[in-house]
Amino acid sequence: MLHFLGVDAPEITEILPTELPAIEANVKHTDFIFRLADESLLHLEFQIGYTGEDTYRFLTYDVRLHKKYRQKIRTVVVYIRDAAKITHQITAGSITQASGDGS
C-alpha cells in the first residue's frame, strides 16, 4: 500500500491500536498506525479536503503517539481533493511541524 501511495518508508511490521486516550472529555481516533521495520511509526490519514484545523488535529495525535511509544513518527495524509499545495506550518516551543508541496 505504501508503495502504491508513493510513500518512501520502511516495510510495515505491525499494526498498532488507533485509540489515543487522554485525560479529556473525548477519545481521539486516527485512521491507521503502523510500526515500520526501522522501529518508527507511520501515522496514515485519509482526508477529503484540507483545512488548517486538520494540522492541529494531526499534531495532537502525533504528540499522543510520541508520548506513548517514544519513537519517530512519520505522518502521511492522503487528500482526495483540494490539496495541490499545502503550506501550513506550526512552530510551538519544542514542536516544529511543516507541510510543504502536497503533490
Question: What's the mean per-residue pLDDT of the chain?
Answer: 78
Nearest to 99, CA basis, from 77, 71, 70: 77
Amino acid at 87: T
Amino acid at 65: L
For 85, other C-beta atoms within 10 Å of its C-beta total 10
Instruction: Provide the pLDDT confidence category of residue 77 given band limits of 50, 70 and 90.
Output: confident
Instruction: Provide the pLDDT confidence category of residue 56 given band limits of 50, 70 and 90.
Output: confident
Q: Which of 87-101 are b and which e, b meaning 16 or more Cβ less than 10 Å from the residue's Cβ?
A: eeeeeeeeeeeebee
Which pLDDT belongs to residue 35? 94
Domain covering 2-98, topology? Trna Endonuclease; Chain: A, domain 1 (3.40.1350)
Rounded CA gap, 61 and 22, in Å?
Answer: 10
Contact, 13 vs 35, CB < 8 A? yes
Q: pTM for the whole thing? A: 0.64
